[in-house]
Structure 1
Amino acid sequence: MTNASKSFSLVADIGGTNTRVALAEGRNVRPETIRRYSNADFPGLETVLRRYIADENDVKPLAACVAVAGPVREGRADMTNLDWTIDKDTLARATGAATTAILNDLQAQGHALGHIADSNIMPVLKGNPGNQHAAKLVIGVGTGFNAAPVFETESGRVVPPSESGHANLPIRNAEELRLCEFVSTAHGFPAVEDVLSGRGLERTYAWLCSERGTPTELSAKEIMDRVSEGHDDIAAEALRIFIRILGTVAGNLSLIQLPFGGVYLVGGVARAVSPFLADFGFADAFRDKGRFAGFMGNFAVSVVNDDYAALTGSAAHLTELLAHQKPA
């Protein structure tokens, strides 16, 4: 494939462990151009993007957008689980693109809604469909946790950034209080992502083992494998607690944002636990809101099975951004 023209946009999804980069034509990400790089092999994003451009025959993108797992403010991002700082000047210098954008990773997921194949949307709970302008909510569960509302306005889609994973973890009973005390960080309180993340599932399993007097640590993958195999009751209980708390937090966020257009669970951990949501109490926890329990039935919940949704969302955002630019 020849990448000599400037008809492409460059999009990237920067996680805590890997960065995925691709080229897009309009809103369409070119699957054959997707490349994955280990963040540990690079000192910063600029060197990743320069490597990608070289790997893609010195492509010269018209625009570039990166989605980052961390807070974004005034064109600058500080990664939450990675010691990188990213700004628009760095992005422009690395890519040579005239138009650049930096999104929080959940913002990118929000911009992807409506551009993901129906086959990659797995319904979890039915709701009462809202109109085309109804708010939506994306909730990301992976290396960390975050959420972002999605609003359709007359000027286009707006996806405000958020850092929901660092809010205090809700506590409903004595068991959850003990879990919170076990996972408390040096900051003095347990945050949502201290439980609702890959490492959070690991901590929950370790806590249960500790309570039983048999301290044991397993990776999130090992825990999920044991649940699937059905021979580890502690692993199953850890996942059940995880899913109940996920339901509680997702329900809380839904009451805050009123996403009549649907709630969308995204991220590697969300996809991994999705086969167990129905049997492990997600629906009951989601709707356990006292006199608002019936009202919670308005919100449909789905899991997004598209691992490249953040790339699609970045491309969609650039397409809208370019369309609103005034001609020179």
Structure 2
Amino acid sequence: MKLALVGDIGGTNARFSLWRDEQLEAVQVLPTADFEGPEQAIVAYLHTQGLQPGSIGSVCLACAGPVSGNLFRFTNNHWRIDRTAFCEALQIDGLLMINDFSAMALGMTRIAEHERVQVCPGEPQTDRPALVIGAGTGLGVGTLLEQADGRWLVLPGEGGHVDLPIGSPREAELWQILYRQLGHVRAEDVLSGNGLLVLYRAICELDGQPLQHATPAAITTAGLAGEPVAAEVLEQFSCWLGRAAGNNVLTLGARGGVYIVGGVVPRFAERFLASGFAKSFRDKGCMSHYLDGIPVWLVTAEYPGLTGAGVALQQAAERSPDAIRENP
């Protein structure tokens, strides 16, 4: 496989890296606002590496949203991609585009031991699916399955938009407040970066406490410092993530393990490890035993989405070079 480039593109930043010998090389983060489109950003990135268009054979980009057809518009920035024009501008053989959470899930296949922290002990059943769930801008949920030929299959879904599960009287009271505010309460409404703020406001309303924080970052900082209301937000967030993850394990039969990814939980990792996540994860009544022995890891790797884009590109190239050129 020729030298390739991989990218993981979000609303604010685009991460790029060379993919050489199945490894990331020379990762760089560029603000999307600084460039007219991804072609210009990639040319700038290549320039910093002493490379020109035509130096790379193929590109894989992980993009938020459903990927299909020749034209792709990013939902959270001003960029767009015309597949034909993109390949011509960069003089590449093919462009592979995949959903960003699919890339995140594939990244779990290359996680080193030091890049994950055990939350719940157990042994993964390698012939069963693994669950990848992550709170960030939204709540991503994906299924990872190893195939008979050793390649990996990702089944993307919209599990972050399921109803928020209720497991206690207090959660029911909080849900009533959320329902009045939102109408329909999805798991993502709470289990996301902005969800911390939504949850904080609901707890303050329920307990008659004044609002003192206006951002998720401020709530996290206050919670880690021991402020009672903010600390309860982190605890309740952890418990609700446990319930959501457990529900998905039951639905998918995901005895291959659970990977917790995304940018939210690592910001309060120690608090999370001591939280009620594990109890809530297993709290499934007569099916609680099903969750026994399923390992759960908190992923701390810096660029799993980029790595997953590399894995996707590698698998496509091994299957057939045309799989990249003909990616719909």
**TM-score band w.r.t. shorter chain:** 0.7 to 0.9
1:250 has 2:242 as partner: no
State the alpha-carbon separation in 2 of the partners of residues 103 and 74 from structure 1: 12
Cα distance in 1 for residues equivalent to 2:76 and 2:158: 13
SS across alignment from 1:268 = coil
Uncovered stretches (5+) of structure 2, i.e. residues with no partner? none
**Aligned with 2:6 (options 6, 11, 16):** 11
Q: Which runs of 5+ in 1 are unaligned?
A: 1-5
Give the residue type in structure 2 aligned to 1:224.
T
Q: CA deviation at 1:180?
A: 2.4
The TM-score with structure 1 as length reference comes to 0.87
Q: For residues 307 and 197 of structure 1, what CA distance do their matches in structure 2 show?
A: 19
Contact 2:282 2:291 in 1 (8 A): yes
Inter-partner Cα distance in structure 2 for 1:146 and 1:75: 25
Match of 2:140 in 1: 146
Moved more, 71-80 or 134-143: 71-80
Q: State yes or no: 1:262 paired with 2:257.
A: yes
Match 2:130 to one of 136, 160, 173: 136
Counterparts of 2:27 and 2:22 in 1: how far apart (Å)?
A: 15
Who is 2:199 aligned against?
Answer: 204
- Equivalences for residues 85-164 of structure 1 within 5 A: 85-86=80-81, 88-89=83-84, 91-131=86-126, 133-155=127-149, 156-164=151-159
TM-score w.r.t. length of structure 2: 0.87
The CA distance in 1 between the partners of 2:88 and 2:75, in whole Å, is 23
Partner of 2:286: 291
2:9 touches 2:62 (CA, 8 Å); kept in 1? yes
Letter in 2 for 1:296: L
Report 1:36-115 matches (<5 A).
Answer: 36-57=29-50, 58=52, 60-73=55-68, 79-82=74-77, 84-86=79-81, 88-89=83-84, 91-115=86-110
Residue from 159, 177, 190 that aligns with 2:175 = 177
Shift of 1:79: 4.1
Distance 1:25 1:235, change over 3 A: same
Residues 139 and 145 of structure 1 are in contact (CA less than 8 Å); yes or no, is this contact kept in structure 2? yes
Contact 1:75 1:102 in 2 (8 A): no
Residues 131-190 of structure 1 show CA distances to partners (whole Å, capped at 9, x for unaligned) of: 3x3321111211211111011113521112223223332344422323422651xxx423
Percent of aligned positions that are identical: 32
- Sort the Cα spacing of 1:286 and 1:100 in 2 relative to 1 into closer, same or farther, 3 A: same
Match of 2:319 in 1: 324
State the AA in 1 paired with 2:142.
Answer: A
Deviation at 1:289, TM superposition (A): 0.7
Matches of 1:317 and 1:260, distance apart in 2:
23
Matched with 1:307 is 302
Report the AA paired with residue 179 of structure 2: E
Secondary structure class of the residue paired with 2:244: helix
Over the aligned positions, Cα root-mean-square deviation in angstroms equals 2.5
- Does the C-alpha gap of structure 1 residues 92 and 175 become closer, same or farther in structure 2, counting only changes over 3 Å? farther
Paired residue secondary structure (1:277): helix
Q: CA deviation at 1:26?
A: 3.3
Alpha-carbon distance, 1:89 to partner: 3.5
Q: Describe the superposition over 1:33-71 as per-residue Cα deviations: whole angstroms up to 9, x where unpaired.
A: 211122233344333223323333325211111112223
**Residue 279 of structure 1 corresponds to which residue in structure 2?**
274
